[in-house]
Chain A
Amino acid sequence: MLSAMLNAIYVLAALALVASFGLAIAARIFAVETDPRIERVEEALPGVNCGACGFPGCSGLAKAIVEEKAGVADCPVGGENTASAVAEIMGLSFAGGGEKMVAMVLCRGDDEVASKRFYYNGVSDCSSAALIFGGDKSCSYGCLGLGTCAGACPFGAIEMLPSGLALIDPEKCTGCTKCVDSCPKGIIKMVPASRTVHILCSSHDKGGVARKACKTACIGCQKCVKAVPEGAIVMDNFLAVINYDMEIPEEVADECPMNTIVVRRQGDLAATSVDMQTAVGGDA
């Protein structure tokens, strides 16, 4: 019994010895020169492999950065901290990039306020729904509310409200723009994270048409345009659009007769949906 056990131990030990020699030799012969910085850069990156940078995952970007095919700030997700950490590894200086951008759904026409043209019966996916007459909303620019953007978001930053609207949490949003590409309606836009005043409508329909389709549509009345410094809000084909290069006073939200303009301060995501309810209730 004992000898059998010992035999087994001897055999395994011998095997281990042979194999380790083999590995040691192989490692010398087949060694591949890799830049140690790649590994360090990869560690500095967020590591979520979202692909938003256009490279195959974080390791792909790390390789590209070290090979100088990509810049130190090319990770759209990591923000300034990541960029400066990467820059340090690369021995470069990072001057600080632009402002952090977050995605925002420029529509607040949920089922409470926006009418529908028909009963949609099909695949629960915005891209599919958009193939059928552009979706069931009367407003052809409205959020279809089936959550394709939420599915595309690698960070779980998009919540589908039960009322049929996508809501992006700016705290969780990293600005990777995946949702922007996924939206068949093209109504998700990147906005500076620090800004508080937004026009949540994308409808280029004329006022009457837009108003019939949705109670919170921009009807192109231009009251907001007149209430802000010139150029801060501009009209684009019956739609008021914010020029984020300029400062806008928060009071302008009170000017909007349709409650299309919202003030969304940091951390009060929930407030948006609440004040939407009150706004609608007040109207009715």
Chain B
Amino acid sequence: MSKGAFFGGVHPSYNKDMASGQAVIEMPLPKELIVYFSQNLGAPSNPVVKKGDEVKKGQVIGESGGFVSTPVHAPTSGVVKTVENRPSPVGADMIAAVIVPDGLDEWVEGCNVERGSTGLNREKIKGLIHDGGIVGMGGATFPTHVKLSPPPDKKMDTLIINGAECEPYLTADHRVMLEDAESVLDGAALFAGVIDVKNIVIAIEKNKPDAIITMQRAIAGRSGFTVAEMDVIYPQGAEKQLIYAITGRKVPAGGLPMDVGVLVQNVGTAAAAYEMIRYNRPLIQRVVTVTGSGIKHPKNVLARVGTKFSDLIEFCGGVHGDTAKLINGGPMMGIAQHSLDAGMTKGTSGLVLLREDEVGQFVSDPCIRCGNCLDVCPMTLNPSALSIFIERMRFDDAEEYNLMDCIECGCCAYVCPSKRPMVHHFRRAKAEIRNKAKKAG
């Protein structure tokens, strides 16, 4: 199935066996949950609860703030202690509902009810996926219903279910495929029905042979499904690279997968969508890999959205002394955290704790033009030149060198012998260029 390899990429130490053998454990309800109203890429949702309100599990607490937006649900039953700005795992403080669970974990009426398949047409399914607050669970948190709504002129023919999980350390998707294969496939079938494609590819990196076997067994008897064994290389799971590796099609620069007739969805997203359609359970919990050399007992935890990082860490036995970095997501693209009191979001696929000697600290030495970054850039950019331009504030030149096509995978910084903070430079320049474009109209 695999058509070949994309250009570039790196082979970091994967360190997945720390957690890959750990079955998913459901975490008991913590003392409080920090549920942000911005759980997706795009417009944040609008709070509809206030301090003191009682909420039930699955109740909508934030309504969709636009088309590219999803509702947010209460992860359990309890009382809204406050609605205020809290430190967020992705950036500046964000508005969140702080919910104190009452321990009863009662569903709101209408949720957790098995739904018959009658009357389920495309629009209905899309509507339910929106209502369930389903977003891309690989980390990007793009609203799934938007991805399922390609303009009519785009002819879709392939659905890729992304189980590559190329980020080092993380095993959440791996465990979902092992333990919940049927839900993943049922969810995938739903997606395929909505966009009317017959060809569904489950993409799994070869370093997960058990997941490959499980999936191969599970697709037996289903038509249209194939399992693609992907080479182990980072960033195999990046949308554009995955599509190229499987179909040989190049998503145009600045374009979307739908431009080449492909839709990519994460395995966790497929399972979550199935839960919503079949049982009317909105996305209020997910599998999080808590791992890294800094944590005492690495685990795959099924945790409620809003669980504080400190609670996750405590549940996994605490930390070793010299833990210096706490990462929301994988170590290649995840966001380093400064506060243990931020809550996990729908996009939190893992919590990686690294010790000081493992952390690749940046030193910003001058570029020695070794060209390593050009060899590994999967978008075939010239990161060396880009970073030099940006250091000299030449943002126009950086734009001319296709900065905006950078996917921030971090391969360049991973191999840079001068330890330059390449991705940081690029993010800054992108922000600068976007601001300029906004000002220009």
With A117-B339, A118-B338, A133-B338 as contacts: A125 and B92 at CB distance below 8 Å:
no
**A117, B340: Cα distance in complex, Å:** 11
A124→B428 contact, CB < 8 A: no
> Which residues in chain B, 55-100, are within 8 Å of chain A measured between CB atoms?
87, 91-93
**A132, B87: Cα distance in complex, Å:** 12
Is B424 close to A, CB under 8 A? Answer: yes
- For residue A205, give the distance in angstroms from its CB to the closest CB of chain B: 11
Is A140 close to B, CB under 8 A? Answer: yes
**A134, B91: Cα distance in complex, Å:** 7
- For residue A238, give the distance in angstroms from its CB to the closest CB of chain B: 14
A123→B432 contact, CB < 8 A: no
- For residue A127, give the distance in angstroms from its CB to the closest CB of chain B: 6
Interface SS majority for chain A = loop
Q: Write the chain A residue with the least CB distance to B430.
A: A131
Is B310 close to A, CB under 8 A? Answer: no
- For residue A144, give the distance in angstroms from its CB to the closest CB of chain B: 13
Is A281 close to B, CB under 8 A? Answer: no
Q: Write the chain A residue with the least CB distance to B420.
A: A123
> Which residues in chain B, 390-427, are within 8 Å of chain A measured between CB atoms?
421, 424-425, 427
- For residue B86, give the distance in angstroms from its CB to the closest CB of chain A: 13
- For residue A134, give the distance in angstroms from its CB to the closest CB of chain B: 5
Residue of A128, A133, A134 near B424 (CB, 8 A) is A128
B92→A127 contact, CB < 8 A: no
Q: Give 29 pairs: A residue, B residue, CB < 8 Å, sorted on A.
A: A117-B338, A117-B339, A118-B338, A121-B361, A121-B421, A122-B421, A123-B364, A123-B421, A123-B424, A123-B428, A124-B364, A125-B428, A127-B428, A127-B431, A127-B432, A128-B424, A128-B425, A128-B427, A131-B427, A131-B428, A132-B424, A133-B87, A133-B92, A133-B338, A134-B91, A134-B92, A136-B338, A140-B92, A140-B93
- For residue A152, give the distance in angstroms from its CB to the closest CB of chain B: 9
B425→A123 contact, CB < 8 A: yes
Is B362 close to A, CB under 8 A? Answer: yes
> Which residues in chain B, 25-62, are within 8 Å of chain A measured between CB atoms?
none
- For residue A183, give the distance in angstroms from its CB to the closest CB of chain B: 14
- For residue B235, give the distance in angstroms from its CB to the closest CB of chain A: 21
Number of A-B residue pairs having CB atoms within 8 Å of each other in the complex: 38
Number of interface residues of A (CB under 8 A): 15
- For residue B104, give the distance in angstroms from its CB to the closest CB of chain A: 34
Q: Which residues of B contact A (CB under 8 A)?
A: 87, 91-93, 336, 338-339, 361-362, 364, 421, 424-425, 427-428, 431-432
Tell me which residues across on chain B come within 8 A of A118, comparing CB atoms.
338
**A140, B87: Cα distance in complex, Å:** 11
Q: Write the chain B residue with the least CB distance to A118.
A: B338
**A51, B364: Cα distance in complex, Å:** 30
**A242, B92: Cα distance in complex, Å:** 28
Residue of B93, B338, B361, B428 near A128 (CB, 8 A) is B428
Tell me which residues across on chain B come within 8 A of A122, comparing CB atoms.
362, 421, 424
**A128, B422: Cα distance in complex, Å:** 11
**A276, B338: Cα distance in complex, Å:** 29
- For residue B407, give the distance in angstroms from its CB to the closest CB of chain A: 17
**A122, B423: Cα distance in complex, Å:** 10
Q: Write the chain A residue with the least CB distance to B393.
A: A151
Tell me which residues across on chain B come within 8 A of A127, comparing CB atoms.
428, 431-432
**A125, B425: Cα distance in complex, Å:** 10
**A133, B93: Cα distance in complex, Å:** 8
- Given A121-B361, A131-B428, A134-B91, 18 more A-B residue pairs with CB atoms under 8 Å apart are A121-B421, A122-B362, A123-B364, A123-B421, A123-B425, A124-B364, A127-B428, A127-B431, A127-B432, A128-B424, A131-B424, A131-B431, A132-B336, A133-B87, A133-B91, A133-B92, A133-B338, A134-B92
Q: Write the chain B residue with the least CB distance to A117.
A: B338
Q: Write the chain A residue with the least CB distance to B342.
A: A133
